[in-house]
Amino acid sequence: QGSNEDNVGHGTHCSGTMCAVEGNNTGIAGVAYKNTYIISYKGLGGSGGSSESVYRPLADLAQIVKILKKDPSERTATEKSKIPHSVPENFKITQKTIPVNMSLGSYATHYFATEMLNIAIQNDILPVIAMGNDGRLQPEYPRSLYGCIAVGATNNRDRRADFSDAGEWMSVCAPGFDIVS
């Protein structure tokens, strides 16, 4: 409930990094700069959020993606009612896997969070989760769960940034230092 506005700026910054336009001589080119649609959800407030508020949307997204992968003419009235109003009526998802950026974590996990992540993964939702900014080599959740892609940060010399967490569960690194977004 409430506002979906990014009052901290972090989610907006991450989206801007992923979808940064190429060829404008400003910052970097994102990996998703062409034909990208962003679904925005705010699960954390200024003081965090509950497992329910953060992870329930993954199951909701899995349901919506399943509907949006159908041809629009084959969707039932009930299915159509579950699609957000901002989605064009004739929109159809054609890619198999839908990545979801999550920039959060803790040193403990909750069964509900794990279950919602499993539902998402089973429905071709790929959680792409930030490694964290403590410079630690300690597992954190959800990034170290099976099926998630854990992303570390690189500095301006394309090396792991000093602040970026690391560990055997890290899947890939991406620019994370002095990024124009």
Taking only the tens place, the pLDDT of each residue in 120-178 is 999 999 999 888 888 888 888 888 888 999 999 889 899 999 998 888 888 998 888 88
- Residue 157 CA to residue 57 CA, distance in Å, equals 36
- The conformational region for residue 174 under phi > 0 = left, psi -120 to 50 = alpha, else beta, is beta
pLDDT of residue 115: 94
**pLDDT interval class at 1 (50, 70, 90):** very low
**pLDDT interval class at 181 (50, 70, 90):** low
Query: What does the pLDDT look like over 35-88, one tens digit per residue?
Result: 777 777 777 766 677 888 888 888 999 999 999 999 999 999 999 999 988 889
pLDDT of residue 50: 80
Is the per-residue pLDDT at 33 higher than 80?
no
User: Does pTM surpass 0.85?
Assistant: no
Query: Mapped to the 3 state alphabet, what secondary structure does the chain carry?
Result: CCCCCCCCCHHHHHHHHHCCCCCCCCCCCCCCCCCCCCCCCCCCECCECCHHHHHHHHHHHHHHHHHHCCCHHHCCHHHHHHCCCCCCCCCCCCCCCEEEEECCCECCCCHHHHHHHHHHHHCCEEEEEECCCCCCCCCCECCCCCCCEEEEEECCCCCECCCCCCCCCEEEEEECCCCCC
**More reliable by pLDDT, 113 or 132:** 113
